[in-house]
Amino acid sequence: MLNLVLFGPPGAGKGTQSNLLIERYNLVHLSTGDILRGEIADKTALGLEAKTLMDKGNLVPDEVVIGMISSKLDNNPNAKGFIFDGFPRTTAQAKALDNLLEEKGTSISAMLSLKVEDEELIRRLLARGENSGRVDDQDESIIANRINEYNNKTAPLKDYYSAQNKLSEIEGAGSIENIASRLNEVIDTL
Ligand code: B4P
């Protein structure tokens, strides 16, 4: 199985590149951000809890997102592989993911980490906020909090995957097509 963690700060292009990778490699896309926004749209209890945190740019509790990923893995028993987009975001999530995959006799193939400067992230997210209606993309202080959460809780995961020799860092600035080619080059060597 090809199991990829697509990694990077908010606005790095994880969702954008995932959409291209799932087509090319025939993978199942698991985006915790998209799943949570689905729960919010459906006004579930989980969605209501998540909305308060997401609107401020805070992470949602580990047990919530781990439970969501676990059931999505169970629901796709015949997948050729998965793209994990926006998950894991903490060390607890990364360990839980390793355990869930081990139970299924598989593991993470690689972490692809997109590198983008903060000014570019802020520019992209504010631009998306103009049309998307996403509260967390509309206010520079909320975006700053998301980048802060990333630096404090999520960026250390690079060390976690590097210790397993699974980390590849990819330049995330430039055209969407050029970044996709860089990702494909790395994946084709796996
Ligand atoms: P996510 O939905 O994961 O959102 P993101 O980090 O903002 O997005 P991404 O990096 O995918 O950006 P995109 O490609 O869309 O998370 C939202 C919130 O959900 C979190 O803050 C948190 O509260 C919660 N959450 C999610 N997962 C969680 C977890 N595991 N644990 C706890 N909480 C969790 O790109 C952004 C914009 O840039 C787009 O408009 C795109 O068009 C543009 N863009 C992309 N590539 C570009 C390029 N090369 N050049 C110019 N623009 C580009």
Q: Is 33 in contact with 137 (CB distance < 8 Å)?
A: no
2-7 vs 110-115, strand pairing mode: parallel
Cis peptide before 61, with omega less than 30 degrees from 0? no
pLDDT grade for 7, boundaries at 50, 70 and 90 = very high
The model carries a pTM of: 0.95
What does the pLDDT look like over 34-93, one tens digit per residue?
999 999 999 999 999 999 999 999 999 999 999 999 999 999 999 999 999 999 999 999
Tokens representing residue 79 in the block? 């997948």
Position 182 scores a pLDDT of 98
Write out residues with Cβ below 6 Å of ligand 1: 8, 10-16, 32-33, 36, 53-54, 57-60, 65, 86-87, 89, 93, 124, 128, 136, 146, 176, 179
- Name the DSSP class of 190: -
pLDDT of residue 133: 87
Say what the pLDDT of residue 144 is. 97
* pLDDT at position 11: 97
